[in-house]
Chain A
Amino acid sequence: MTETSNLYDMPDERGHFGPYGGLFIAETLIPAVEELDHAYKKYMTDADFMAELDKDFQHYVGRPSPLYHAERWTRELGGAQIYLKREDLNHTGAHKINNTVGQILLAKRMGKTRIIAETGAGQHGVATATVCARLGLECVVYMGAVDVERQKLNVYRMQLLGAKVVAVESGSKTLKDALNEAIRDWVTNVDNTFYIIGTAAGPAPYPAMVRDFQSIIGREAKQQCLAQTGQLPNALVACIGGGSNAIGLFHPFINDADVRMIGVEAAGDGIETGRHAAPLCAGRPGVLHGNRTYLMEDDNGEIIETHSISAGLDYPGVGPEHAWLKDIGRAEYVSITDDEALQGFHALTKMEGIIPALESSHAMAYTLKLAPTMQKDEILIVNLSGRGDKDMHTMAAREGIEI
């Protein structure tokens, strides 16, 4: 294991990752994020808080999630030993719950009575509605009208859990517009409302806070990998929309310089078509939703519509820490098209009997490319960030099957 002499320690006091991150929000929200920042810094070093979080991780979420050696798929691809970090086995079926369990504990300690959230695929909305049901808190979830249509099952789940789902009709009617609407709600109801952002983006302290809650993924993976193989992995692969599952896996390995970290963005119809959701691969830095980061925008700085088969990756920005890791060359960012993602989806389903979410299928598709180029004694950890149950309708429609 190689340790870099200058240990990575980001963000700075004001939430900057180099030029990225920061606090680009309207004045009315400043007191709210300052209050949150204070609570976050206080409780992340508070033994009682951390003990309660650990207990919830273990008994409510079902952690640790397994690190599974996909032996058949490994043999089939003939290269690196493939290990899957099974976040799909968490309660509610994805990594999103790690973050909502953490943020709701903070909200409770801060005395907030009303919770709002934005959601794309609906996994974060479900994970938020779930923890709100558990604590009996009012929950409002904003979801783009297009996503409401393509993720009906998750809408129904949220409603069963007692959440009010608001279909957002403005702009492109997807995740970014849901975020805009959640921010408008927050500005209006700032006194009693806690905004549970679902990804490692937004104004400081959200990018660092969400990363810290999601880092349980990487901490466990590191321990499990050492216990099962006696060595660190050679490479990590995770899909990236906002990038919370990826930063959760990557962060505990950042100082292990020999571990490659590869984030997989959604190339949609193909980067060359412009119809994609890959700001790190094909965008440029700008300011949106509270932080400076890579964005998909036109020459005038207007945000452009994104395209991905996966609602959870259909977002024009990305967490600011990924922007920084890209610029300093510590992580690599690649992209996978819709068609390739479907190949990844089928490969894992048939080879290992595990149906991945369409988001995670992007990481699986990159594994199809990467694993055969690696040596048989090398280890590749792929984050299986969510399960595919929610995507059955999308898959069936895509393949011309009526359910």
Chain B
Amino acid sequence: MSRLAARFVEFKQSGHKALIPFITAGDPSPDFTVPMMHAMVTAGADIIELGVPFSDPMADGPVIQRASERALAHGMSLRRTIEMVVEFRKDDQITPVVLMGYANPIEAMGYEAFAIAAENAGVDGVLTVDLPPEEAQDCAATLKEHHIDQIFLLAPNSNVERIKKMDALGSGFLYYVSVKGITGAGHLDTDDVKRKLVDIRANTQIPVGIGFGIKDAETAKVISGLGDAVVVGSALISKIEANLDVPEQAKQEISDLLNAMRVAMDNKN
């Protein structure tokens, strides 16, 4: 069983809901990332999603686009992102790390070379926004050989047939995109999410993380009642963007927000 799957089994047994923060590797600068990852774990994160910077992030809103641009300006790349996981693993062998990004950097490196490097670094899962099940067979098979979960996105307009496809090919968890739109979008409707989760649960046993539009402790609590995990990204990166000259302040604000989410999610009342 993969580290991700094992953690979700534990969580399920204890009724714990996972908190998954997302930051872009190398934003605002490369030396920020690994200490921030450790600080997020301290603040209550269970799994970390590390964004791989890409020049053309088509599914991302302006906040994450700018994070990618800042990271690329520092010479960040998929290889350097993997090196950061190596660094992180020196002090943390428990917290699963998921790389999230776009297909082309992986294509450029080659599936096999990427899978080997990621496995050696201690990467647990890979989420590739523009690699739906239709095109993911080869990549998913290669990752599986190297004990890495391929994580797929589900959208509000994904039908039952598609949920079954993700169930067959995906592992680790499924990432439910709670709104039709780009990252950082508003208008999260919890009733819609609740209805869709019924469909999803009926067709897969894979744990479900919910993301897009989760900005504060209150939303995190409500959403954690619906899925197995809550993913928060743009709200954290906004803190980085607001404190570009004072990264320590960004680190503090991100920790505070995650801590507030953790407390709210753990409070069962």
Contacts and interface: CB of A to CB of B under 8 A. Distances in A.
B108 A299 contact: yes
B164 interface: no
Interface string A161-192: 00000000011000011001001100110110
Interface string B128-146: 0111101100000000000
B130 A25 contact: yes
B157 interface: yes
A301 B106 contact: yes
Nearest to B157: A31
Contacts of A14: 134
A300 B159 contact: no
A285 B162 CA distance: 28
A9 interface: no
A302 B55 CA distance: 5
A28 B157 contact: yes
Contacts of B132: 23-27, 30
Pick the most buried of A23, A187, A286: most chain B CB atoms within 10 A of its CB. A187
B72 interface: yes
Contacts of A144: none
Interface in B156-204: 156-159, 162, 177, 180-182, 185
A156 to B, nearest CB: 27
Interface stretch (B57-65, B84-92, B259-267): B57-65
Interface in A285-304: 285-290, 292, 295, 297, 299-304
B139 to A, nearest CB: 11
Contact of A27 (B60, B108, B177): B177
Contacts of A122: none
B104 A287 contact: yes
A300 B153 CA distance: 24
Nearest to B59: A26
B8 interface: no
A401 B244 CA distance: 45
A302 B105 contact: yes
A177 B60 CA distance: 13
Interface string B225-245: 000000000000000000000
A300 B79 CA distance: 8
B257 interface: no
B129 A26 contact: yes
Contacts, number: 117
B105 to A, nearest CB: 4
B56 interface: yes
Interface in B99-136: 102-109, 129-132, 134-135
A187 B181 contact: yes
Nearest to B76: A300
By size class, the interface of chain B is 35 or more
Contact of A286 (B78, B107, B156): B107
Contacts of A299: 108
A220 to B, nearest CB: 35
A386 interface: no
B2 interface: no
Contact of A26 (B56, B69, B107, B153): B153
B77 interface: yes
A321 B58 CA distance: 23
A191 B132 CA distance: 20
A120 interface: no
A189 to B, nearest CB: 8
Contacts of A300: 77-79, 105, 108-109
Given A28-B155, A31-B158, A22 B104 contact: no
B40 interface: no
A238 to B, nearest CB: 26
B61 to A, nearest CB: 7
A303 B58 contact: no
A102 B104 CA distance: 31
B78 A301 contact: yes
Contacts of A176: 56
A344 B105 CA distance: 38
Contacts of A289: 56, 58
A45 B108 CA distance: 39
A27 B155 contact: yes
Interface in B35-71: 53-62, 65, 69
B22 interface: no
Contacts of B185: 188
Given A180-B56, A297-B108, A190 B158 contact: no
A190 B78 contact: no
Nearest to B136: A24
Contact of B103 (A28, A187, A191, A287): A287
Contact of B105 (A26, A187, A301): A301
Nearest to B102: A287
Nearest to B212: A28
Interface of B: 53-62, 65, 69, 72, 77-79, 102-109, 129-132, 134-135, 152-159, 162, 177, 180-182, 185
Given A27-B155, A170-B69, A300-B105, 20 more contacts: A22-B134, A23-B132, A26-B129, A26-B153, A30-B134, A30-B162, A171-B55, A176-B56, A180-B56, A180-B57, A184-B58, A184-B59, A184-B60, A188-B180, A188-B181, A188-B182, A190-B157, A285-B107, A286-B104, A297-B108
28 contacts: A23-B132, A23-B135, A24-B135, A26-B130, A27-B155, A27-B158, A27-B177, A28-B155, A28-B157, A28-B181, A30-B132, A31-B158, A170-B65, A183-B59, A184-B60, A187-B181, A190-B157, A287-B103, A295-B104, A297-B108, A299-B108, A300-B77, A300-B78, A301-B104, A301-B107, A301-B108, A302-B53, A302-B54
A-B pairs, 6 with minimum CB distance: A301-B108, A301-B105, A300-B77, A28-B155, A188-B181, A287-B103
